[in-house]
Every structure is written in structure tokens, then in C-alpha cells.
Amino acid sequence: MAYLGTPTATKFIIDQYQFAFQKKFGQNFLIDSNILEGIVESAEITKDDFVLEIGPGIGTMTQYLCEAARQVVAVEIDKALIPILEHTLSEYDNVEVINQDVLKVDIKSLAEERNNGKPIKVVANLPYYITTPIIMGLFESGVPIESITIMVQKEVADRMQTGPGSKDYGALSLAVQYYATAEVQMIVSANCFMPRPNVDSAVIKLTRHQEPAVEVQDEKLMFQIIRASFNQRRKTLVNGLKNSAELSFSKEEILEAIQKLGKPETIRGEALTLEEFAELSNLLKK
């Protein structure tokens, strides 16, 4: 089986199987071999690695992953792609395709069973609508992860990397930075996909910290505070926290904590750094 990462090879498979692209699954397949090689290089995959690929499509990137890794598990939601994957991956004996919604797969058990609980590498070209739940799910559920190398919309990559003062700063930025170092590896033009999406994409690598970036007594509380702060971006921090259904602090308690943090009463949540959110949640925990 020749590599699929060209417009001609991709079109050939699509026509052969009369495959109909499904918008609801965010299906834009990569057709540029330089980008494919770049992703696998960025992920630094070796023959020791177990790789989870999310959304293999017709198997374009999966072929590269099979060459580089010890074992690959690819989770694909669209059952119309399963016979195609059987064909395009038939030469590889180190791959298993699971036909399932990745959000329903117990990835922790998968890593336990297939990789003896050792940290796994995740590689994915994700549809935008599941980017955040997938990343948060992987980090928060305690799956042993070494790195996540993913293609996302360029704007989402910006959100992951940014800090206070940017309009892109939000709960996703803080969550990603709490768990990982985020580095954009390359910007990918919309022309590298079939069909062509409306926006450019970026490959971003999230390398998990050995220890979280800040010390926090109650992680869950910190993320509730973060979510509450950004749910009402235009409100002050004190109002954002007071109005949250997830939290039950009084205005006085919140004001006292903000004062101890050394911030003015009128401060907005979007002005706080990750360290300050951690400190605020430690103060409120008391």
C-alpha cells in the first residue's frame, strides 16, 4: 500500500469506497506528506512507544505512526471508515482500530493493558468541537500521558499558549498550562487538507509536566473558580465567583481572599495568572 498523504492517493481511496465526507465528524483529511512527517517528528515517536491516535480517517497519519511506533491504537467514530482502514493498514501488524467515540473509550484502562500503565503518546488531527473535552478528559482523568501532539484550529492553539492580557486567555489556557508545556510546532495551511477547511490549523505539542505547574490544595476547586471567572468575563472576579452555581462563598469571604492576594476589589478574573488562581483557591479553601 503506497502512502496516502497526497491528493491523488486520497482521492483514489475516497472514490474506490465511494466515501461521503461527514461534516458532523469534522472530516478533513491531510494530503501533504511534509506535514505528516513533521507531526510524527514533533511527537518524537520511537519503537518503544505505544501511541493512541484519535480520528485516523482513512489512515493517512496512522501509516506513519505504525512505521515509527511499537504499537498503535486508532479510535475512529465513523463506521464507514472501518473497511477503508482495514485496507489501508493491512500491511501493519502493530495497529488496532477501535470503532468508537473516543469520549466513550476508557483510555486509562487501555494504557494499563497495552502499555503496562506507562505514559503513552497521543497523536490526533481533531475536529474542533471535541478538542477541549478530549484534552481536558485526558489530563483530568489521570491517564498516564507523556505528550499530546495535535492539530487544532490556529485560534485554539493561540488560546492554549497565551496568558493574562490577551483576548484568547481563558479556562483552556489555564488548564493546559497547569498540566503541560504547550509549544506550537507548525502552522498548517488550509490547502493541506481534503476537503479544504475555512481556517488554517496549527500542530501543538503538549508535554505533560512531571508535577503540576503550581501547588494547589484542591485542584477541583481551582478549576471551578477558573470556570466561574471566565463564564462572566465582563464581570468583576467577586461577582463571577458569587454568581457561580458551582461555588458557595459569600461576598465577604471572596473579598477577603482577593485582598489577601493583594489585588483590588474591582479586579477581573481574566487578569489573574495561574499562580494567582492557585493562591486564590488555597485562600478560599481555608
What is the per-residue binding string for ligand SAM in 38-57, x denoting contact by CB under 6 A?
A: ----------------xxxx
At position 164, the amino acid (one-letter code) is P
User: CB-wise, 58 or 228, nearer to ligand SAM?
Assistant: 58
Task: Confirm or reject binding of residue 201 to ligand SAM (CB under 6 A).
Answer: no
Beta strands in the chain (DSSP E): 29-30, 50-54, 71-76, 95-99, 120-125, 145-153, 180-188, 193-194, 201-208
How many C-beta atoms lie closer than 10 Å to residue 5's C-beta? 21
Task: Confirm or reject binding of residue 107 to ligand SAM (CB under 6 A).
Answer: no
Task: Confirm or reject binding of residue 2 to ligand SAM (CB under 6 A).
Answer: no
Task: Confirm or reject binding of residue 224 to ligand SAM (CB under 6 A).
Answer: no
User: CB-wise, 25 or 223, nearer to ligand SAM?
Assistant: 25
The CB-of-225 to ligand SAM minimum distance in angstroms stands at 29
Count of residues binding ligand SAM (CB under 6 A)? 23
CA distance 41 to 46: 10
| DSSP label of 209 | P
Residue 205's beta-bridge partner residues? 149, 183
Task: Confirm or reject binding of residue 171 to ligand SAM (CB under 6 A).
Answer: no
Q: Which of these, 17, 176, 164, 161, lies nearest to 87 by C-alpha position?
A: 17
Reduce the DSSP state of residue 144 to 3 states and report it.
coil
Task: Confirm or reject binding of residue 125 to ligand SAM (CB under 6 A).
Answer: yes
Task: Confirm or reject binding of residue 29 to ligand SAM (CB under 6 A).
Answer: yes
In the list 72, 102, 216, 258, the residue contacting ligand SAM (rule: CB under 6 A) is: 102
Q: How far is CA 94 from CA 41, 50, 71, 132, 254, in A?
A: 19, 10, 5, 29, 54
CA distance 153 to 188: 9
| Residue closest to ligand SAM when measured from CB atoms | 55
* Residues in 70-99 at the binding interface with ligand SAM, rule: CB under 6 A: 75-78, 81
**Cβ atoms of residues 62 and 86 within 8 Å:** no
Q: Which span (19-27, 183-191, 204-212, 275-283) binds ligand SAM, by CB under 6 A? A: 19-27
Q: Which of these, 33, 40, 73, 70, lies nearest to 55 by C-alpha position?
A: 73
The CB-of-126 to ligand SAM minimum distance in angstroms stands at 6
Q: Which span (125-133, 182-190, 204-212, 240-248) binds ligand SAM, by CB under 6 A? A: 125-133
Task: Confirm or reject binding of residue 32 to ligand SAM (CB under 6 A).
Answer: no
Q: Where along the sequence are the contacts to ligand SAM (CB under 6 A)? A: 25-30, 54-57, 60-61, 75-78, 81, 101-103, 125, 127, 130
